[in-house]
Amino acid sequence: MAEANTVHQVVVPAPAPMGKETILLSEGWQYKASDSETWSDAQPLPTSVHLDLLADGSIPDPFYGKNEELVQWVATKTWIYKKEFRVPVELLRDSGQNIGLVFEGLDTYATATLDGETILEASNMFLGHRVDITSLVANGEERVHTLQITFHNADERAGEEVKAHPEHSWFSFHFGQQRLAVRKAQYHFGWDWGPVLRDSGPWKPIYLEVYQARIVDLSIKTRLTPDNKEATLDVALDIEGKAGYARINIESEGSIVESRTIDLTSSTKSTTIRIRNPSLWWPWTLGAQNLYTARATLFASKDSTTEHDTKVKRFGIRNIELVQQPLHGQDGTSFFFRVNGVCIFATGSCWIPLDSFVTRGTSERYRRWIKLAKDTNQVMLRVWGGGIYEHDAFFDACDELGLLVWHDFMFACGIYPAYSAFEESVTTEVRQNLVRLRHHPSIALWCGNNEDYAIAYIAQMLRGVAKYDPSEMDVERIRQSGMPARLFYEIRLPELCKELIPDVPYWPGSPYGGAFCNDTTVGDIHQWHVWHLDKKPYQDYPRLSGRMVTEFGLQAIPHWKTVKQYYYTGDKSPSLDDDTDYTADDFMLYHNKAEKGPADIEKYCTDNIPFDRSLRGYMYCSQLIQSEGLGTALRGWRRLWKGEGREYCGGALVWQLNDCYPVSSWAIADCDLRPKMSYWTVKRENQPVTAGLVRNLREDGSLEVEAWACNMTLHALPVNYRVRAWNVRTGQTCWTHSVLATVELPPNQSTELWTVQLDAALGVESNWSELVFAVYLFSADEEASASDESAADRMLARHVNFHEPLKEVPFGMQENRVTAKLIEEEGRTFLELCSSVPTKGVYCDFEDDNSVEWVDNCVDIVPGEASKLYMTGLKNEPGNSVRVYWLGETSWQSQVITLA
C-alpha cells in the first residue's frame, strides 16, 4: 500500500502555436475502497478494480479453481480512483484555448470530481464523455489539480432502477433481472460460458485535450456504381472551435489519390470526391483488403501553415447488401450477403469478449483471435449482444485480414425497458458507437439484439408477460407494451442506422423473421433444437436449416493442459488416466457454467460413442462429438447453397469462436487459443472446395448413398470424382465407383454428383454399419485411369463417412492401429499417418512440446492412403514422441509413438 504524496508532472514538448495537444492521464493513479483509509497504486490506464486488486495481491486470480467465489465481495463495494496532475503553464497562456477532459469509458455508475467539484455523473459503460474544464484550470497559473472518480455499486444502482419502474416486466432467464436496468456488459453478471465478475473502473483511456479548434468527427460515406468502376465519397467534418480552412486528402499506399479544401467560414463542411476504378475492399475469400486513408487537417486560414488539428481514418470502398428475395420451389425468402455484387455463403462463428476483464484485450490478442478465425476459413464473425461494442483493434484486424462483422447492439436475452431516461442513454450510446465505428469496411450488418424476441415468446408462454402486438408501431403504445424495447429494435436503431450508416444493412434481432422469431423460411435462426430445447441428435442438423443459421453448437471440455493449468487449486492435481469420474468432479463441474452442460456433454457422448470418464477420455470424447456435430451441420447447410434463386441457406455461424475464461463451453478454441478438435473440422468444412456424402437406410433394407460437391470459388471447376467403400473390420475394399469423364462444378454453389442404391451384393449381408465410404474430388484429367498414381496430387477434396451413431460401428480394438512417421519436405514438417483399416477421429498431440501448432489434425484414415498432418514449431529433438488417439469399438484408444 502506498500513500499519495507524489504529484505527477505531465511533461509535454512546447506546442506549436494554436495546435491541439493531447495529454494522457494514464500514469500515477491510486485507488481504494470507499470504506478504507489506505490508497494503493493502480496500474496504468485503462484498468479495472479487479485487475488492480489482482496486481497488488489483494485477491487471488479468479480464473483458477473456485477463486471466483473468493472475489465476489469486490462488486459489493464502492471504489474510488484519484490522480493529481498539472497542466503545463505554456498551454495556459492563450486565452482562446479550450481544455477538455475526456473519459473514453467508465464502468459503469461513476461520479467524477475535479478539485472537489462534481463535473460528471456517468451511468453507461458504453458511453464516452467530454467535460469542458477550461474555466476550472485555465487561470494562467500552473497548479496541482486532483481528479477523483467514484465507481458506485452497479448492483445497488440497478436494483434502484428496477424498483423505480414496477410497471416494466423485468424478465430474463440469464443471471438475474437487475442486469437489464444497467447499460453495462451483460456477461459481467455471468453467462453459461463465463463467470460472475462484475468489474468496474476506468476501462478506457482518460486524457486532456487543449485546443483552439478540433475535429469532432471525420465521416466518409462511400457509394459504388453498379459496375464498381467509380466510387463517390461523401466526406464531412464536424468541427468544434474556430478554424477557417480544412484540407482533406484521400491516400492509398502512401500516395495522395485526391485532395480537397473546404472553406469553413461557409455553412458547408463537406465535400464530394469521386474515384475512378477504385481499389475495392473484399472479404479475404474474394479478393484483396484494399484500404484508403482519409486525412483531414484544420488551419486558421487558407494561407496558414499552422495546423489546429488532424484526424485520420482508414476506410474501404465496398458495397454490402443483405439479400432477401423469393426462392425457387420453397416458401419464404433468402437471407444472404452480397459484397461488391458477389453473393457469399457467410460461414463463420460468434464472438464473445476475449476476456472477462476487457482491458486485457491488447491489439496483439485481438489479431491472434481474428487470424485463428481466418485460419479456419471463416469469413464472418458475429459480435454477440451481451458483451461490448468492440475495441478498434478488433475491427482493424477484421479490416486488414478480410473478415466480415455482424455486430449486435448491446442487448441480450431479456425484456429491456424503454422509459425516457433509459431511451436517452441508449440513443446516445448507439449514436456514439456508430460514429466511432462506421468507417470500418468489415462491418456488414448491425443487429438490434440477441434473442430478445425469443425471450419475449418464452415469457408469454411460461409467465403470461411480455405480450405485445407485433404490428403496433405507435411509439407510446410500444413503450407501454409488454416488450417496450421494440421501440429500439424497430424504430430508434434503424432510424439512427439510416442517418449515420446508410450503406450498412440493419436487422431487428437475432434470431428474427416471419410470424415467429425463429422462422426457418424467413430471416435468421438460432438452431438450438440440438443441444438445448428437445436435444435432437446432431445428425439432424442438415434437416434443421434456416435461411441463415446464426447460432448452433455443442460443448466440449478444453485440452487437458488447460484443465490442469486452471481448473484446480491447492494440492489437488488431476490424473490423466486414473479411474476418477471427471464428469462428476467438483472442479470440472465448476468450470462448466451451463446449468445442464456436463449432463448434456455426457448425453451426446453416450448417445454416439463409447464414453470414457477419465480426464483424457473426457477430453477426447467430448471434443470428438463436438467436432462431428459441427462438421455435420456445415456440410449439410453448405449443400443448400445451390446457386441463383436457390440460396436455401445463406450462412452458418458456429456458437462460438472463443472463450473469455478457462471453461468447458461451445468454443472451438479455449481462452489461451488452444484449439479443440472441432477447430480442424471447421477448417476443412469451410474450404473453398469440399465434398460430402450421406447414407440413407431404406425401408427395404437397401442403402442409398448420395454425394455432392461445393465449389465456393468464383470460377467453374472441372473435376473427376470417385466413391469407394471398405469393410471397417478387415480394411478390404468392397466397392469403387469412379467417374473419369469431366464433371463441371459451377462457381459459387453446391452441385449434386451422384445417388446410388446399394444392396447386399456388396457382401456385408445388409450390415451397413461395417461399411465406410469416402468421396474424392480430383482436378479433371480425362486421360487418367481409376488407378492413376497421380490422383493424390490432383485431389481437391475428400470426405469419409462412417455409419452413425458411431457406437454401432464394429471398429475392433487393434493395438498399434496407426503408424506415424515424421517427414521434412521442402522446408515443411508433417506427420504421415497410415492404417490398414478405416480409423475414426485420429488426433495427434505432442504432449511435452507446447510450441507445436497443427495446420491439420483430427482426421479419418482409410487403407491405402497416407494422411499428412502439417505442423509448425516442432522442436526436432531425438526421441520426440507423439500420442495418437482414435475411436475404438468399446472405448477410445491411444498409443505413444516415438518418432525417428
Residues involved in catalysis:
451
3-class secondary-structure state, position 769: helix
Q: What is the rounded (10 degree) CA torsion for 57, 113, 122, 163?
A: 90
C-alpha 215/C-alpha 262 separation (Å) is 13
Locate 653 and state its grid cell.
Answer: 455461424
Q: For residue 398, what are the CA distances in angstroms to 75, 315, 316, 587, 659?
A: 34, 12, 12, 36, 18
The residues near 171 (Cβ < 8 Å, ≥ 6 apart) are 177, 414, 415, 455, 459, 463, 465, 466
C-alpha 19/C-alpha 17 separation (Å) is 6
Number of Cβ atoms within 10 Å of the Cβ of 865? 16
**824: Cα separation from own chain's centroid:** 35
C-alpha 412/C-alpha 42 separation (Å) is 32
User: What are the CB-based long-range contacts (under 8 Å, 24+) for 562-568?
Assistant: 562/662, 562/670, 562/671, 562/672, 562/674, 563/588, 563/591, 563/615, 563/619, 565/662, 566/63, 566/64, 566/65, 566/591, 566/662, 567/65, 567/591, 567/662, 568/65
Task: For CA atoms 602, 604, 608, 609, give the dihedral sign.
Answer: negative
β-pairing verdict for 342-344 and 346-351: unpaired
Nearest to 367 by CA among 673, 651, 105, 681: 673
Number of Cβ atoms within 10 Å of the Cβ of 717? 19
User: What burial letters (b/e) apply to 26-58, b meaning 16+ CB within 10 Å?
Assistant: bebbbbbbeeeeebbebbebbbbbbbbbbeeee
Task: Identify any residues that bridge with 626 across adjacent strands, giving them in sequence order.
Answer: none
β-pairing verdict for 828-835 and 443-447: unpaired
Q: For residue 763, what are the CA distances in angstroms to 726, 733, 767, 894?
A: 11, 11, 9, 31
Backbone angles phi, psi at 156, to 5 degrees: -65, -45
3-class secondary-structure state, position 52: helix
Name residue 681's amino acid. T
C-alpha 876/C-alpha 900 separation (Å) is 10
Peptide bond into 271 cis (omega under 30): no
C-alpha 41/C-alpha 362 separation (Å) is 22
Beta strands in 728-873 (DSSP E): 733-745, 749-758, 771-779, 795-801, 818-825, 828-835, 839-845, 853-854, 859-861, 867-872
The residues near 558 (Cβ < 8 Å, ≥ 6 apart) are 619, 659, 662, 663, 664, 670, 674, 676
Task: Evaluate whether 447 touches 409 at the Cβ level (below 8 Å).
Answer: yes
Place of cell 431479456: 414
Place of cell 507524489: 6
Backbone angles phi, psi at 551, to 5 degrees: -155, 135
Beta strands in 469-566 (DSSP E): 506-507, 525-526, 549-551
β-pairing verdict for 292-299 and 245-252: antiparallel
Backbone angles phi, psi at 525, to 5 degrees: -130, 155
Backbone angles phi, psi at 620, to 5 degrees: -65, -45
Task: Evaluate whether 630 touches 675 at the Cβ level (below 8 Å).
Answer: no
